[in-house]
Amino acid sequence: MTRGDRPGEGESWDERTLLLTMLRYTQQTAVEKVQGLSEDLARATPLPTSPRMAPANVLNHLRWVERSWINDRLLGGEDDGPWTDENPDAEFDEGSALPLDEVVRLYEEEAARTRAVFAEHDLDALMAKATPRHPLTARWILLHLIEETARHNGHLDILREMADGSVG
């Protein structure tokens, strides 16, 4: 399960290419961490203090995080995430309700959409819903999504090892 590829190693790329390559790498790693799990293991929540922390739930969370940052904040569209005031973590619950292959497919579709937006969007542009208190640029959002995905990859790595012993 250890990845042998390292994106950009020995290459000289412009900033956008490098950032999009790193985003794609972290996105692909997230998918690889859940592939091959049974439906039961994909929904297992082995951490008593984190009852929603299952591999399928984390991947579904990543899908909705990308969608929210792009659709809602960057482009100014409607926030169509499953969360509500009563259940602010509904995207985790949704991950347990969907078959794992559906969670993977939906995540891969959203990930491709995210990369397509950033391939064209001005990285210096302020997000559509910027405020004086939060004047975030597209570049900041892209870096945040790389960081968020990489951080959750660490969670997925531990969850996968706990689920079936796979490491790497």
pLDDT, tens digit, 9 for 90 and up, residues 89-122: 999 999 999 999 999 999 999 999 999 999 999 9
Q: How far is Cα of residue 101 from the mean position of the Cα atoms in its chain?
A: 16
Give pairs for 9-15: CB < 8 Å, separation 24+: 15/123
Confidence of residue 11 (pLDDT cuts 50, 70, 90): low
Count other Cβ atoms within 10 Å, centred on residue 148: 16
- Write out the two tokens for 51: 């009852």
User: What is residue 7's predicted lDDT score, i.e. its pLDDT?
Assistant: 60
Confidence of residue 4 (pLDDT cuts 50, 70, 90): low
- Where would I find the H helices in the chain? 15-34, 39-43, 55-67, 90-97, 100-120, 138-164
Residue of higher predicted confidence among 35 and 7: 35
Over range 26-51, report the average pLDDT.
96
Confidence of residue 131 (pLDDT cuts 50, 70, 90): confident
Q: For residues 26 and 150, is the Cβ–Cβ distance under 8 A? A: yes
User: What is residue 2's predicted lDDT score, i.e. its pLDDT?
Assistant: 57
Q: What is the pLDDT of residues 63-76, one digit of tens each?
A: 999 999 999 999 99
**C-alpha–C-alpha distance, residues 107 and 8, integer Å:** 24
For residue 45, the one-letter residue type is T
Over range 42-48, report the average pLDDT.
95
**C-alpha–C-alpha distance, residues 32 and 18, integer Å:** 21
pLDDT at 9 over 70: no
Confidence of residue 149 (pLDDT cuts 50, 70, 90): very high
